[in-house]
Chains A and B, each alone.
Chain A
Amino acid sequence: MQVFIAQIINGLSTGSIYVLLVTGFNLLLLVAMIIHFSYPQVVVFSMYITWIVIKVTGGSILLGILAGIASSVAVNLVSAPLFQKVMQKRGAVDINSTMVLSMGLGMIITDVLSHSFNNGLPISFPGGLGGSASLLRVGLISLTTGQALSLGIGIIVVSLFFLLLYRTRSGRAFRAIAEDPNGARLVGIPLVRTGLASYALSGVFGGVIAVLFAMMLGYASPGLGEQVAHKVLAVSIIAGLGNLAGGLVVGLALGILEAIVQGYISGSWSNAIAFVIMLVVILVRPKGLFGTRL
């Protein structure tokens, strides 16, 4: 029972990060109409920026966090014109070209990181930015600051996001484009500018995820983004591409599933088992558990 509770805590905190990742990914899919497969690489890039800034400023975590967020917003905004350039037409998701461009950007980021920092070896965040401090320990059950923050900030960010989506002018424009891009244009919603807002917002998400990741893992490596990218894409597809609510459920479920496998079988099998289960789900329900929303 203790193992189970411990792993549920682990799973929820990792799942919270998956949820944020898949939400940012889905936002770009719905509003910017791109498949940003390498969105997690952008997040890892931000982890490196956070790490450098903390180093350079002699340990200022606050500046590191701000730089992390600013850098992923910047990467997203810089790549936006590239995506817009390769898209055949506005008004529909151009899966092929945007996916290829995204993978290219991801490879560039990965290579730049491995050539520029620490000889390509993982970098470590001492004390996980304070995230590895233990808040609570009862037998095998422990809760670290990083885990608590990951779950807490995850809930806050997702709630704020849904509030924005359903209570603001920009959110309404996001939803209109997600439902019918051409119809949105006919009523005067600017597709390009609203799309840019979604790049910026998913950039903010990315920065927050980078910090939470650093707290949870305590390290970053050039290849981390790619490992996570496969999971994010899988979660989005399993939930139903572009299905925001579905992404919440499946993101958390993947975190818990992995943690349970780690706790009872072996950590090295968690990826394989998770992907086998997801494969079965997609065979049974090709449009995802909750249906595609494109």
Chain B
Amino acid sequence: MASNSAALLSVDGISVSYGHVQALRRVSLEVRPGEIVVLIGANGAGKTSLLESVLGINALREGNVTFAGAVVSGSSADRNVRAGLCLVPEGRGVFASMTVLDNLLLGAHHNMRNAQKNLNRVYEWFPVLAQRKDQVARTLSGGERQMLAIGRALMSAPKLIMVDEPSIGLAPLVVNDIFAILTRLNREGYAILLAEQNAYKALKCAHRGYVLETGSVTLAGSSAELLADPGVREAYLGA
């Protein structure tokens, strides 16, 4: 359950532009320790831009990002990964020509000392990855790739896992599995920031949510509030 302690991640009025296109306008949000926070929005609303900006991929035009008590905006993605942030990219982002084991070890790039310990934990979470550890990732199914991408994120011993559209392109049953995994991870103590178009399922497993429209946060609230909101119901839940 969400605690009331200080925010683990706080995004403070950030704006990001690609050339003349403004992707994010003064977006603010926060994730507290132990929370699952969902970011709802249509294609192109800026969900991926937001997650990548938090990770340190995009230069911010204004605003800043604080993570675990330190300002992280302006530092590089690899430094932020070392600080405990990580991103499971949209479309899984696994390295297709590399083995499952190599993909997992890539996640441990900054944490090789605990690699074996973390590897064993990931294999406990996802036994299928242990069976396929020497297979190249291109031979995995969509769901297995998503597990691999999540497993790779766990290898970096993160404090916050950002997951970008995990349900995209997966069969409904597999989507349920993935959400169940995220919920279990959260129960183990991982904070999760989830970007999803599949608003209903995402809100069902999250504590709170933000609605992102053309680069701005237009609505924020608890999952129950958002599920009951007429605007959200109409735009994202098809009700």
Which A residues lie at the B interface, using CB under 8 A?
A: 169, 172-173, 175-176, 179-180, 183-190, 193
Contacts and interface: CB of A to CB of B under 8 A. Distances in A.
B97 A186 contact: no
Nearest to A187: B106
B77 A186 contact: yes
Interface of B: 52, 55, 57, 76-78, 80-82, 86-87, 89, 93, 95-98, 102, 105-107, 109-110, 112, 152, 156
B107 A187 contact: yes
B95 A188 contact: no
Contacts of B52: 186
A186 B57 contact: yes
Most buried by A among B80, B87, B109, B156: B109
Contacts of B107: 187-188
B95 A175 contact: yes
A188 B156 contact: yes
Contacts of A173: 106, 109
B93 A187 contact: yes
B97 A189 contact: no
Q: Which of A179, A187, A189, A190 has the most CB of B within 10 A?
A: A187
A248 B97 CA distance: 20
Contact of B95 (A179, A185, A190, A193): A179
A186 B93 contact: yes
Given A187-B152, A188-B77, A190-B78, A179 B97 contact: yes
B102 A185 contact: no
Contact of A186 (B82, B87, B96, B110): B87
A240 to B, nearest CB: 14
B55 A186 contact: yes
B225 to A, nearest CB: 32
A193 B110 CA distance: 13
B87 A169 contact: no
A252 B78 CA distance: 39
B78 A169 contact: no
